[in-house]
Amino acid sequence: MNPAQWREGLSPFKPTLATGPLDRGGQLATRPAAGQPLSPDWRLYARSASDDKAGVMTILAGYQALGASKLKPKVNIKFFFEGEEEHGSPHLAQILARHKALLASDVWVICDGPVHQSGRKQVVFGARGDVNLRLQVYGPRRPLHSGHYGNWAPNPALALARLLSSMQDSTGRVRVAGFYDDVTPLTLAEKTALAQVPNLDETIRKELGFARAYGTGQSLVELLNQPSLNINGMQSAKVGPQAANVIPTVASAVLDLRLVPGNDAQRQMQKVVRHIEKQGYHVTTAEPTDAERAQYPLLARVQPETGYNAQRTRLDLPIARQVVAAVQTTTPDRVVVLPTMGGSLPLYVFEQELKAHTITVPLANYDNNQHAENENIRLGNLWDGIETMAAIMLLK
């Protein structure tokens, strides 16, 4: 998190109120005096304000509200907070396996992610898996003057650009062989649920300021039920005021593979590695040796990170219907039912270790800037989340 990327007047670790979204007319504000009402459209800006301190606080505040109202939950409730999700939850499986008896349950309600872009509440029955892959391609051993050595010494930045462009076509379709082969098809119930999700694709596209979305006519929610390959970032030499006339020594990228049911994280990464090899690269997991530099004109170092698979709970389970009904009691608008969210959570671990179902009930505003500068939570979403969590705790 780079504080310099945040808007003037904001700091990632100093919560700041605003009268609305700052990119659409909102102004920085001071905290009102005690007893003065706050508008639900105000925003609280801070790192993790929405992802996921908002979720933690709505769960705790919802439970406290029941106690203050002298309402006793009709189910046994266990709270579980895990702080390594952004690092792939490397110890989650170990914790669940060690405490199976203590954590035995019928369903886990996960509070993470945003509500629907329309503002309507939604209940989500799955999450995509996720695995990252670090990629480096190599040029000369030391930086070279681009005038003296241009057109002769290989440029790793250009090589990386060509390699990455080979992985995806102009519609966003991944060109890695077999990338979609093992996807589990959606059930009829899941397809029906997707057809009922409000389509705000054009509104979102215009708001985000790009002319054409990926896909060949498919909606955003349809594409979220397919695996994806994203470039999280690229780097080679310097740009801007620090740019120099050099041929760089190395070019790097981080790839983000999102997975859906049927995909396996390790198998999906190997498909990408095989694709790199098919482009003529010798692939290594370590810094290339002198012998490898002398032998192979195209060298790539691939470092896979720990990832996890996707998970999806059946929509027709009685407990699933109960959770949707509980959320529906808190809003006059029809609750959006989504088979899979776009984001990733290690939900498959709960299914694998505890044989338990998971259902996600998001609460943050969709424009919360999670994982980026100027992250925020809309106060109305925070209050709605407290009510929603309390309603779920009152399930029979």
DSSP structure string for 342-393 = EEE--THHHHHHH--EEEE---B-TT--TTSTT-EEEHHHHHHHHHHHHHHH
What percent of the chain is modeled with pLDDT above 70? 100
* H helix and E strand count, the chain: 12, 17
Beta strand 250-259 with 228-235: parallel, antiparallel or unpaired?
A: antiparallel
Query: pLDDT tens for residues 31-62?
Result: 888 888 889 999 999 999 998 899 999 999 99
Query: pLDDT tens for residues 68-84?
Result: 999 999 889 999 999 88
Residue 170: pLDDT over 90: yes
Helix (H, G, I), strand (E, B) or coil at 298: coil
List Cβ neighbours of 34 (8 Å cut-off, separation of 6 or more). none
- Can you give the pLDDT at residue 35? 81
Q: What is the mean pLDDT of residues 120-125?
A: 96
- Can you give the pLDDT at residue 373? 93
The span from the CA of 172 to the CA of 185, in Å, is: 20
Put residue 178 in one of left, alpha, beta given phi > 0 → left and psi -120 to 50 → alpha.
left
pTM: predicted TM-score of the whole model, two decimal places? 0.85
- Can you give the pLDDT at residue 345? 87
Bond before 51 cis per omega within 30 degrees: no
Radius of gyration of the chain measured on its C-alpha atoms: 24
- Tokens standing for residue 107: 């369903």
Instruction: Work out the burial of residue 134: count CB atoms within 10 Å of its CB; fewer than 13 is exposed, 13-18 middle, 19 or more buried.
Output: middle
Strands (E), 51-125: 107-110, 122-124
Helix (H, G, I), strand (E, B) or coil at 159: helix
pLDDT classification of 7: cutoffs 50, 70, 90:
very high
Query: pLDDT tens for residues 245-265?
Result: 999 999 999 999 999 999 999
- Can you give the pLDDT at residue 354? 94
